Each structure stands twice: as structure tokens, then as C-alpha cells.
Structure 1
Amino acid sequence: MSSANHSELGNALLAISQSLADRNQLTQTLEAVLTAAKQMTMARHGIIYVLDQTGETLLPTCAYHNDKIAKEHPWTPIEIDSASESDPFNFAVHNGEVVLINELYKYNGYDCESIYQAEQTLGLTSQNLLAWPLVDESGNTIGLLVLLDLSVIDNEAALTEFCRMAASHIRQAIWLEQYGQVIENLSGDNQLKKPSVKLSTKSKRKSSSEPIAISSEMLSVFERLDRVLSSC
């Protein structure tokens, strides 16, 4: 497939921005992943944590309980640098290892106090817990899938592949959301810049089909989107 030119890429970027204004791509992706994971394992409830842009905090971005996606929940962010590795969620992210606790409310070697508090608020007492790091195709941990009160864990290979695919989709949704915001900001900045009455002759002849901003950051956006479009 031939590469798109900058004008076409600019139009595509604006289309992405408009699409994201109508629906939250990341939210929909997380809800779909968590619902599917719950169905695969017959988990009673669960959470997906997503690393923020600093890579220092895990945000409980999507939660599932009472057979539906929860709009409000008691799960709190985890500051990775300050959290103890005895916390099962932090241990899973730091070490890139799956944590399975078969008896959550008996001694298991982890500090589960924050989990107990969240479950108490929800009125639940889970038998077990699974914390699975979400690692994308580049080997970057982008979040954590947590499932509680599971009934089925009989196909580890399938769950491993599911989590790999989930991480890839979540990474793409994050990318689209971030760049949609970049384009929205660039568009807003461009509208604020009123043309000067003292424009040079060279400036007056500038084609209106040019990208809305010529900068290293914007060219980077074009290059990355070009690769996405070329792979379609």
C-alpha cells in the first residue's frame, strides 16, 4: 500500500479527533476486555489498572461487579515507587509475573489490606485473586488485569494469549486517545492565531493544503500515523 501524503494524513488526524469526541475509545476497549476476561474465568468481579503517562501510577480505570461495569468503585490508584512489593498488584507489575492467590483471606505472603478494604465497601469476600500484568508487543507493561473470585482457570495458554492481545488493543486505544487530544489542542491553537495584516508576499502565497502545524512534534505524529495507515 502506498503511503499517504501529509494533506491526507492531516485529514485522517482530524477525523480521528472528531471520532474520539463522540466516543471514548479507551473506555470502550477496557470495558470489552474486562467483560471478556470475566466470562473466560467466571470471575465475580475485577479491575483493569492502566499506567498513567508518567509511568509512575496505576489508575483503576475500569471495574466490574454486580454483573456490570461499575461507574463508581472503591479501588484507588497505586503509586508504584512508594507501594510495597508485598502488595500483590505492585509485585505483579514490578516483576512482570502473574500473581495467583488461591485463598485470599488466609495468610498468603502478600499485604492484601487495601483489597480487603475495597471488598468490604463492595460487600464482597472473594475466595481468590488473579493479577495479570498487561504487556504489549514491545514488551512494555501498560497495565494490570485483576480478577477476583474466579471459578475457571483451566487454560493458561488461552488466558496468556488473551492478555497479550488485550494489552495490544489497550495500547492502541491509549495511543488514539492521546493523539486525538494532541490534534484537538493543535487545532485550538491554530484557530487562536489570527493572520497578520503585514504578512509577507511569500506567506500570502502559502498553500492552504499544508498541514496545520509544521514542527518536529507534528511531523512525528504524521510519521506514526503514516505507519498505521500503511498497515491497514
Structure 2
Amino acid sequence: MTPVSSPKFVTGNRERKTEIRIIARHGGLEATVFYVTILRDLSIVVGTADPNFRVRRIDHEGNPLEGPENVVDRPHATFHPPALFHLRADGIPRVLAGLVWTAPEPGSPHFASPWLEFTTSSLQEVDFVSPPSARSRRKIPFFFDVPSRSCSVVLVADFIKKNSQAVDPDYPRAKYLIAGDVTMRLRIGGMEPQAEATAVFTIMG
């Protein structure tokens, strides 16, 4: 099998959408856990490929709503430049919408402006398969190793200084996306098994 590189920087463009697959590897097997797509209008979609990823709708005070009708399967978050995002699953009304800083606030000492954090439940029921003999050239793989098949995986996506090519030394394995005036940092890793999936957002203001 031809080795596949996993580039640190990926740049989207208006000619075609850019598709990224975030792939967990363990014991010679692999599973796609998240995906990221840069659309031709330079919107960025971050979603889960985990069939067991579910979140609950919340009320206006942030409390989870009870009942099966308020469970949302496999949601994705879409950032629409310059500042709007929403969380939804295909074919259903939005679960959440808000604004986000796409660069550190003026005067902020921080390198990045936080946006979202997706955490899966245990990957125990996710299908890990042998690597394919050939990969689609249209889908860019981001590989990472997990400590076990039962762990959970966290994806943290935040925005960094405009068109920054500087790699944060605190996170040498992070990946970076450039979409127009926006640069996004992705951090992925395994963690102790979580009972439920969670989606956490930082909203502007």
C-alpha cells in the first residue's frame, strides 16, 4: 500500500469542496471518527462519523430536554463566515446557533479563540477495519493513534490568528485548516471512556 501523508496545513478553495477524514488507528485497524469539510463558500463543517454519537436538545437556560424526540443523532456543526455557526443533523431543525470569535479578541494574550469540543462515547461499538489498499484522493486523512478500542475520542476545533502559519509549540500534533480569512486548529486525541457523547461550544460574548 502506498503511504499516505497527513499534512499539517490544508487550504480550502472556491473551486471544489475539501473533504477531510479524522481516522483513529489501533492494532493495525482504523475507523473514521470525525469529518471536516471546507465548502466552496468557505464554510467549515465539523461532524461525527460515529453512529452512536447523540446529543440532547437544550432549553434556553442550557438544560437538557427529556424524551426521545429531543435526541439528535450524529449532529454536525457548520461555521458560516464571518461569525455564525449552527449545530444540526441532516433534515431536522437547528439544535443550536450562535456567534463565535474567529480570531483572539483584541488585546487577548491567547493564541486561539475557542469554538467547539466534540467528545464521543466509548468507541467499543465502532467498526474498526483494515486499512484500504487505496484511498480516495478527494478525501484527506488525518490519522491519530488511540490507546484502546474502548476509549473515547475528543476533537477540539478553535480559531487562531488570521492566516497564521505558526504552529503552537504546546500542540505539535495539531492540524490546521485555512479557509479564506479564517484559520482553524484541530486537536484530536483518545481519553478515558465516556458514558455519553457531548458537544460543547464557546459563543461570542
Name the TM-score class by shorter chain: under 0.3
TM-score of the superposition, structure 2-length normalised?
0.24
Q: Which has the higher helix share?
A: 1
Structure of higher CA gyration radius = 1
Q: Which has the higher strand share?
A: 2
TM-score of the superposition, structure 1-length normalised?
0.22
